Amino acid sequence: MSNSAMAGMIPLFFYDPRQIPRYAVDTPACDSFGRRIDYLRVSLTDRCNMRCVYCMPAQGMQFAPRPELLTNEELLLVMRAAAAAGFRKIRLTGGEPTLRQDLVELIRLIKAMPGIEHIAMTTNALRLRHLAAPLKAAGLDRVNISVDSLDPQKFRQMTRGGKLEDVWAGIEAAVAAGLQPIKLNAVIVRGMNDDEVVQLANLTTQYPWEFRFIEVMPLTGVTGLAQEGVISSTELLERIEAAFGTLEPLGQASSDPARLYRIPGAPGKIGFISSVTDPFCATCNRMRLTADGRLHLCLLRDEEVDLRAAIRSGATQEQIEQLVRHAVAIKPWGHGLPEGVVPTLRGMSELGG
């Protein structure tokens, strides 16, 4: 189903600025549970130059027509409104964000915005070899890079064509450019790459990086894989401790989904993101802006607020700020997986994780 056909099915809340309550503008946006929401994950495109098994189906993937994507001017309007509402951190995602034209200039403009303190990017690193230095110069602070396997053949199978050597070159370029601390992500799928968990964790004994193990999530296009392939963080921790001994717990930052550990004496850290088996909803501080201009209220729910419609109807920055504050106000506590509520309308490539 195309995005344009799908749009009418997505539960959209009050995208007309005239239909929402008036929110105070002198305090940072908080939701109805008292959580300060100050982290915006911005999907720059739903396209990607890989087809990872846990992100996209093998066939039938349809991408949004370019006119449906936010322009740079519209993106910047949303980010200025979000900054005015108290958002301080921006993460650029995709699809694959390095496919977005004018990415370097876009980052330069975001960096100049009052209120924005930190810009990060999640990438597969295939294009990072040549982009790392200019992105750093433009104001990008750091990157998260996906590395699901250290075996070139298995990596190619899981990404449906990706080359591990290109990713590693991107990692080295990020280190050289100073896009640190480096965080590497692996989605662990039972029967595919769970046999590499110890080898992946061992990278933290060689490099001062944070390696994060992520559970498969049941998003559109990969629900079957998620049902069969989820392997809990608890099991992964047990496997790593069987190889390295008891890990040193480092706790969890209030706004970071990763529970952190360290192999004794290692320069790097190990993180576990347990969205399915041990969710972190109580400390959630984020919203997601889709490439076609919706504020997605929770990664594992379908509800959204349509900013693109408001912008293209002539809404001002102040009105968009009110919509952002409204989206924060109606943000749900968390996902409904334990109650059988499963997202059905968007895949990972549209949400950026």
Q: What is the pLDDT of residues 44-53, one digit of tens each?
A: 999 999 998 8
* pLDDT tens column, 22-67: 899 999 999 999 999 999 999 999 999 999 888 887 777 888 899 9
- pLDDT of 288 above 90: yes
What does pLDDT average to over the chain?
A: 89
The answer for 89, left when phi > 0, alpha when psi is -120 to 50, beta otherwise, is beta
pLDDT of residue 18: 63
Query: Under CATH, domain 3-177+279-334+346-351 is a member of which superfamily?
Result: Aldolase class I (3.20.20.70)
* pLDDT tens column, 115-173: 999 999 999 999 999 999 999 999 999 999 999 999 999 999 999 999 999 999 999 99
**Tokens 């590499």 correspond to what residue?**
196
- Are the beta carbons of 29 and 85 closer than 8 angstroms? yes
* Burial profile 47-65: b = 16 or more Cβ within 10 angstroms, e = fewer: bbbbbbbbbbeeeeeebbe
